[in-house]
Structure 1
């Protein structure tokens, strides 16, 4: 905004002409000079200078919002569908509704831990009719590792939502709402993103899944290293666009990421609380693995869910969230997809297991 032309700011023509004659052409040119210098250069009084600077500042400076207005906006957006439910009640509770719209959510974990199973279930939930808790929309699933299985997706649907998937033609209809793309390079992936921006709105797309970005980066990195190109530099291009795409479309974007071994003694530790509502059980879960793609991706995502095995048990960990403390939920992968377990190892079939008050909700109710 600092490069905005003064001639486009609707100043009085006499003042605008003087600015142009003195070669003060942009907002930056005018705002960089003290008032006394502007009075001398423009040969006008302090009142005229102050009026001109006030107008230039008003146009050049971006609009601001208070913390309270931002909170109101978030609650208003959530009232009109701000989250995609995961159907895992405890996880939905701590995330204040599920996977949030308009931001990047990252799933991190080793191969075979359950990330793709989680994505398949999310895809079904986004495609389901609203009367069954879904978003009644379409899904774009970018499958970079050829792990997407339509047979497994239908199996999850038949076991999770038998009243829908066992009706004649409904399985085909649900599957028809999920579009699978398989780009073979980062450039092809980036081109697809740019082409789909308007299609996200035109075709009522309610979820974008990228499974996995790390695999695509690794494939592209191998090709680029043979040409002497840095993989890390090539990864910087999609990040800002992905974030703007999420904000523009107001849909959840879920990206899976792989892990790699942490070299040397630099292992890191997460401390997570148990899933019971009184939080008296606390367990320290340690990891010698770190997320691929580096710190740039870690800062870019709003929600990071870590999938990890510990002492023979799988856990979903809320490792990064602006509204939730670090929490760990034990889970299993079954015929109906991912299911959470209670403290005694019994599969949880929908009862409420955790209660977290969303940030700002109580303030707005006062």
Structure 2
């Protein structure tokens, strides 16, 4: 409980032999007259009138306290605003009642000002607290609507339940737009997400699944008009939605069989990959320069824009807004539109190359930040993106973080962040992700002999993120020395059999050497369908950075 209050006037004649009685207008005088207060001059001490009347402290009776406690948070904040109390918008109800019910009376003694600090010193604890609030934070302006909204959020904070749509008819294949959020209500029947709030959410998220997979709710909180409590409720809705979409293993098997795939242009390579490049999966091709990584991307980009019966991902109407599109993120500045035209003309002479060029969206990537921004933008596109190509994934990282081991942790953290965005969104938006990767050398000692092997760059971060890892190399064509065979080998996959496939590069892009004979090699069914990762040691990753 606060004791006495006092304030000095800069006019000595007004102060002489008079005590100032402080009442409800104390905060107005203190906070709204800062110019006057800062100009108060030091005065000599004068005798204190100790009459009981002047030193009387005005106590708030119990009825006044009860009256304040009966008010809700909005009304208390409005009262505090009228009285000029700074920082009221951040105070809880109990604190506001405590402050507004405190008595104010005449001070027993006035003290001098410290001219050097130019600060008003006072024995009244209330003044000190108000001044500290002013120093700690700037006063924010709030409209009546904002105060009511914040008040309602706090009142509902610990007292709400979700009610919304029941389990969906086909929860295994539904596209879950954020519009579903408007169907959820709290226990009072009030809609949690209004149309205005929905507009803010849709600027950042396309589906509830995207919200549910957020590691934190900070992105929701940062949206305009969304408070922390509302964000918590929306996040819980998203979690409940995903729980309703739980699937059986049998359902997953059916989905697996129905997953869209796209041809690479080579029958042998498609067979090695279990039917082609798979939607909702991340396929990586790595190898030394000149192995055909980018050529596989060119050919697959063309094939992805065809009808499903021709080797593409989906069937579509040519003039439909949902026709397939391909996104190409070029980190090495090697993309050439002329190569797309050449492949189309040689593979499909009757097709218009402009159709393919119009439906390949190209991004030139010069930094890791540009890569992350482009990926986030791609997954917000309304278009039917069936394939995202990143050529190559590690190039910007090896360029930016090229100062040795000291930057290893930052590089891997950034890489994991970007790969996390890709993996979350490829399950929601269902495109196939095709990445190329540079190669690095792994040194190992086998007794006195030193051995080297070619492995993919990126260390554990990339190794754990990719679904299928395919190594590319060259192989002699035997008698026909004019033909250089490329060999693709499954290095790591959760279900593809260990095997190899041979293909050639020509004017058609990726093709089989003999279209009548795929020349593919696979291990027998007795061989394990998985292969252990070629683990890099910490020293190997350090060599990778310096490579």
Q: TM-score range by the shorter chain?
A: 0.5 to 0.7
Q: Which has the larger radius of gyration?
A: 2
Shift of 1:161: 1.6
* 1:100-123, Cα deviation, whole Å (9 max, x unpaired): 101111111111110000000011
Shift of 1:215: 0.8
Alignment of 1:324 onto 2:500:
no
Residue of structure 1 equivalent to 2:396: 216
* Structure with more relative contact order (C-alpha pairs < 8 Å, separation 6 or more): 1
For 1:33-72, what aligned pairs fall within 5 Å after superposition? 62=243, 64-72=246-254
1 CA distance for matches of 2:309 and 2:252?
A: 30
Residue of structure 2 equivalent to 1:108: 286
Which of 287, 308, 316 matches 2:473? 308
Task: Give the number of the structure whose residues are more often strand, by fraction.
Answer: 1
Q: Is the 8 A contact 2:467 2:493 kept in 1?
A: yes
Residue of structure 1 equivalent to 2:262: 84
Please, what TM-score do these two structures have when normalized by structure 2? 0.45
Q: Secondary structure at the match of 1:262?
A: strand
Structure 1: unaligned runs, 5 residues or longer? 14-57, 165-169, 267-285, 342-346, 359-366
2 CA distance for matches of 1:295 and 1:172?
A: 40
2 CA distance for matches of 1:213 and 1:293?
A: 9
Shift of 1:330: 1.9
* 1:159-214, Cα deviation, whole Å (9 max, x unpaired): 122232xxxxx112211211211121101110111122120xx1222111000011
Q: Is the 8 A contact 2:325 2:384 kept in 1?
A: yes
Shift of 1:234: 2.1
2 CA distance for matches of 1:105 and 1:187?
A: 22
> Using a 3 Å threshold, how does the CA distance of structure 1 residues 331 and 91 change in structure 2: closer, same or farther?
closer
Q: Secondary structure at the match of 2:354?
A: helix
> Using a 3 Å threshold, how does the CA distance of structure 1 residues 233 and 354 change in structure 2: closer, same or farther?
closer
Which of 182, 196, 201 matches 2:364? 182
* 1:193-244, Cα deviation, whole Å (9 max, x unpaired): 1122120xx1222111000011121122138989897322221210110101
Residue of structure 1 equivalent to 2:49: none
Residue of structure 1 equivalent to 2:36: none
Alignment of 1:125 onto 2:315:
no
Q: Secondary structure at the match of 2:402?
A: helix
Q: Secondary structure at the match of 2:445?
A: coil
Shift of 1:134: 2.7
2 CA distance for matches of 1:134 and 1:182?
A: 25
Residue of structure 2 equivalent to 1:32: none
2 CA distance for matches of 1:251 and 1:8?
A: 37
Residue of structure 2 equivalent to 1:28: none
Please, what TM-score do these two structures have when normalized by structure 1? 0.66
2 CA distance for matches of 1:161 and 1:287?
A: 43
1 CA distance for matches of 2:379 and 2:250?
A: 31
Which of 325, 331, 340 matches 1:153? 340
Q: Secondary structure at the match of 1:230?
A: helix
Alignment of 1:144 onto 2:331:
yes
Q: Is the 8 A contact 1:224 1:230 kept in 2?
A: no
Structure 1 vs Structure 2 CA RMSD: 3.5
* 1:295-351, Cα deviation, whole Å (9 max, x unpaired): 22111111111111256742011222333211111222111112234xxxxx22586
Shift of 1:89: 1.7
Moved over 4 A (4+): 5-11, 58-64, 223-229, 310-313, 349-358
